[in-house]
Amino acid sequence: MDYSDLIKRLLNNEPRAAARLITIVENDITAAEEIINSIYKYTGNAYILGVTGAPGSGKSTFISTLTKILVEQGKKLGIICVDPTSPLTGGALLGDRIRMKEHFTLNNLFIRSMANRGQLGGLARATEDVIKILDVYGCDIVIVETVGVGQSEVDIFKSAQTVAVLLQPEVGDDIQAIKAGIMEITDIFVVNKMDLPGVDRKVAEISQMLELESSFKYSSDDFSKEFTKIRKWTPEIVKVNSKTGENFDIFLEIVDHHKNFLKETSIIESYEKNRIKNETLQILKHKLTKKVEKLISSNSEIEKYINLVMDKSLDPYSMANLIIKLLGIE
Ligand SMILES: Nc1nc2c(ncn2[C@@H]2O[C@H](COP(=O)(O)OP(=O)(O)OP(=O)(O)O)[C@@H](O)[C@H]2O)c(=O)[nH]1
Ligand SMILES: [Mg+2]
């Protein structure tokens, strides 16, 4: 297929071309390869903000208010709602769409929902590609929202420069409910619903957790660890009211502060290198799995190996090693 016309229209900031290309990369990994190959050189301008939190913590309300503020500031925004747990027609997502609707008429806003369909190389792979399309579409900021419960989210957030996690007062176990992997990559803890009682207790709980974590992590006097500590960003905590927008100015200041920190310490470069490594790994996993599947279904040697394993003269590990040899990638 020739996608050059669609890509030209994407570069002209046509929303319909962006929507069309997103659908294509979600559903057809071969097409995705071709499209990303053509647009990759235009990427790298958008700032990626990851937002997560337990169900009910207020993600939709928070993002809706944030969107209003950023769009009023003249920013062009892309929002990707990733829900690995539900099909696209899920009720929660539908509710979100209705709540988000007031922004739909705005020209500089593009909202896209993604769910766990297709599994073509994984949701993280598809999300990476959608981020790139929105980047080329001219978005200044791309917000990626997930529900914060699974490993796939950790993968998804590997491309975010800043990750914010939403917590709420009077919910005792929400810190524990968030995957450990997500905690480690969190830059800003947002205690939402500051109008409710117990907000300061929640802030104290988080800072206690962070102190504990840092004393645990850096108790060794190993020089490189100390060095990491100096250069490492200390996660910030902010309380907000997503219904009124209270303290959103502080939240945005922290995002700016983090953005500058990444630039000044050149951490952004290592983020980028890591992102490239991770992304390539995802693609390789997909491609190699396909190759192996094809080999297993078509190579005559395989049948022989299976019989040998049945005879117990070969074990599955050794058979796997033989297949790796057949692939010629050892
Ligand atoms: N009092 C108060 N309520 C809030 C605030 N932010 C959100 N809420 C309410 O909390 C409830 C959940 O908010 P949502 O924005 O739907 O939360 P969510 O994280 O998107 O939830 P899921 O999509 O189900 O995961 C709603 O009833 C909101 O009105 C806040 O700052 N203060
Ligand atoms: Mg929601």
Nearest CA to ligand 1 atom 22: 55
Structural domain boundaries enclosing 146: 42-267
What atom of ligand 1 comes closest to residue 147's alpha carbon?
A: 25
d(CA 135, CA 119): 23
d(CA 307, CA 281): 33
Residue 283 lies in a domain: no
What atom of ligand 1 comes closest to residue 64's alpha carbon?
A: 15
Residues with CB under 6 A from ligand 1: 53, 55-61, 92, 96, 147, 192-193, 195-196, 241-243
Residue 222 lies in a domain: yes
Nearest CA to ligand 1 atom 5: 193
Can you give the pTM of this predicted structure? Answer: 0.84
d(CA 206, CA 174): 11
Query: From first to last of its 330 residues, what are the pLDDT tens digits of the chain?
Result: 889 999 999 999 999 999 999 999 988 888 999 999 999 999 999 999 999 888 888 998 999 999 989 988 999 999 998 876 655 444 444 445 545 554 454 578 898 888 755 455 577 788 889 999 999 999 999 999 987 656 666 777 778 889 999 999 977 666 766 666 677 778 999 999 999 999 999 999 888 888 876 655 544 444 444 444 445 788 999 999 999 999 999 999 999 999 999 888 877 787 788 888 888 888 888 888 888 888 888 888 899 999 999 999 999 999 999 999 988 877
Q: Which CATH number fits the domain that encloses residue 181?
A: 3.40.50.300
Residue 292 lies in a domain: no
Residue 162 lies in a domain: yes
d(CA 61, CA 102): 12
Residues 124 and 113: beta-carbon distance below 8 Å: no
Residue 290 lies in a domain: no
Q: Would you tell me the crossing angle of helices 223-231 and 199-217 to the nearest 10 degrees?
A: 150
Residue 188 lies in a domain: yes
Q: Which residues of 63-102 are buried (b: 16+ CB within 10 A; e: fewer)?
A: bbbbbbebbeeeebbbbbbbbbeeeeeeeebeebeeebee
Count of domains in the chain? 1
Q: Which residue, 205, 96, 114, 189, is CA-closest to 153?
A: 114
Tell me the CA–centroid distance for residue 55 and ligand 1, in Å: 9
Residue 298 lies in a domain: no
Residue 50 lies in a domain: yes
